[in-house]
């Protein structure tokens, strides 16, 4: 089958949450014909209304099968493993109508096992598949500067790369199917450790009577520098925790990390400890606070 040109692709986007909503917008703004589907239909209607002045074809579909039936690329960005299965498999999922030769790209942060399961189902239908979780949060999606970690064949990645460039500053293939999800697990391990260290550093600076902004301005020029320090230290010091990636989502991700770590017989003591710290934050009512809210655990007893 002749592969479609990414310059004139028909794209279906499933899942218009805080990430998918702007990602779909970037695709339409880049000149692609975009069909959207969201479980809450009003969200899709809001997206269409916002995009009313676009010069490309945009549509909303009432069902998953209708959304995917003539797509060159179907992109997913939903909540978890069960959500991915619900929108892809079975008589009502997108795979029931995706044409042979099309490509399914899953941007959900999910398990490696799920990626292998969906990849097998796609292969049986003659559909390509990439597991492609993203990093960069809501701000990265809004600004089109996400990082995409991809597992799948080189051929499928080459086809998808121009599409992903519409909303990503970097996409990289890390290996076969499942490699993208494994790499995202590494990403979450590292973020958790950095945020706990930053929370303790800010807490220490406050207790010592230092000017946190001044401290961060100095140490961010040296070896302690990180994205989290640059973007979250000031808001943490001001006790503000409404900046995108929620504690509930991080706990979902860390659960995947820890389960996979046990399967690999891998030692992850810091990650397991910080996962429990995030459980404490949830118990404080902070499930929707952003992940830098680890500081709240340290200050609540003052």
* Adjacent-strand bridge partners of 10: 33
Write out pLDDT tens, residues 127-173: 999 999 999 999 999 999 999 999 999 999 999 999 999 999 999 99
Q: What is the mean pLDDT of residues 201-223?
A: 97
Tokens encoding 266: 């891998």
Topology (CATH level 3) of domain 183-299: 1.10.1040
How much is the CA Rg of the chain, to the nearest whole Å? 20
Place of tokens 């909503």: 21
Q: What is the mean pLDDT of residues 223-231?
A: 96
- Report how far residue 266's alpha carbon sits from residue 272's, in angstroms, rounded to the nearest whole number: 12
What is the predicted pLDDT for the residue at 301? Answer: 62
Of the pLDDT bands very low, low, confident and very high (cuts 50, 70, 90), residue 6 is: low
Of the pLDDT bands very low, low, confident and very high (cuts 50, 70, 90), residue 2 is: very low
Q: Which of 283, 276, 281 is nearest to 298 (CA)?
A: 281
Q: What is the mean pLDDT of residues 59-76?
A: 97
Q: What is the mean pLDDT of residues 109-125?
A: 98
- Report how far residue 253's alpha carbon sits from residue 266's, in angstroms, rounded to the nearest whole number: 17
Domain ranges of the chain: 6-176, 183-299
- Report how far residue 136's alpha carbon sits from residue 148's, in angstroms, rounded to the nearest whole number: 9
Q: Answer yes or no: is pLDDT of 4 > 60.
A: no
Write out pLDDT tens, residues 164-190: 999 999 999 999 999 999 999 999 999
Q: Answer yes or no: is pLDDT of 1 > 70.
A: no
Pairing of strands 103-106, 73-76: parallel
- Report how far residue 111's alpha carbon sits from residue 94's, in angstroms, rounded to the nearest whole number: 20
252 Cβ neighbours under 8 A, 6+ residues apart: 79, 80, 109
Runs of H (alpha helix) within 31-136: 41-50, 64-68, 81-88, 112-125
Distances (CA, A) of 211 to 236, 280, 302: 13, 28, 18
Topology (CATH level 3) of domain 6-176: Rossmann fold (3.40.50)
Question: Catalytic site residue 184?
Answer: yes
Write out pLDDT tens, residues 259-287: 999 999 999 999 999 999 999 999 999 99
From 65, 120, 170, 184, the catalytic residue? 184
């Amino acid at each position: 089958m002749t592969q479609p040109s990414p310059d004139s692709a028909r794209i279906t986007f499933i899942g218009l949450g805080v990430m998918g909503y702007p990602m779909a917008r970037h695709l339409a703004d880049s000149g692609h014909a975009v069909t959207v589907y969201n479980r809450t239909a009003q969200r899709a209607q809001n997206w269409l209304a916002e995009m009313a002045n676009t010069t490309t074809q945009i549509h909303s579909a009432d069902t998953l099968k209708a959304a995917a039936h003539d797509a060159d690329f179907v992109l997913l960005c939903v909540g978890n493993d069960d959500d991915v299965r619900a929108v892809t498999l079975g008589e009502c999922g997108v795979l029931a109508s995706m044409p042979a030769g099309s490509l399914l790209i899953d941007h959900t942060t999910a398990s490696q096992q799920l990626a292998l399961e969906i990849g097998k189902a796609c292969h049986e239908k003659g559909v390509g598949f990439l597991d492609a979780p993203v990093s960069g949060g809501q701000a990265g999606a809004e600004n089109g500067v996400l990082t995409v970690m991809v597992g799948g064949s080189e051929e499928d990645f080459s086809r998808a790369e121009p599409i992903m460039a519409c909303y990503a500053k970097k996409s990289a293939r890390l290996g076969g199917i499942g490699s993208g999800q494994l790499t995202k697990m590494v990403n979450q391990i590292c973020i958790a450790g950095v945020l706990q260290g930053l929370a303790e550093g800010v807490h220490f600076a406050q207790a010592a009577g230092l000017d946190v902004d001044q401290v961060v301005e100095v140490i961010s020029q040296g070896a302690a520098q990180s994205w989290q320090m640059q973007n979250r230290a000031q808001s943490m010091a001001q006790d503000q925790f409404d900046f995108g990636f929620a504690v509930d989502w991080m706990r979902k991700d860390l659960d995947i990390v820890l389960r996979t770590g046990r399967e690999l017989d891998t030692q992850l003591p810091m990650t397991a400890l910080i996962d429990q710290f995030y459980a404490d934050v949830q118990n404080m009512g902070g499930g929707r606070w952003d992940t830098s809210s680890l500081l709240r655990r340290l200050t609540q007893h003052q």
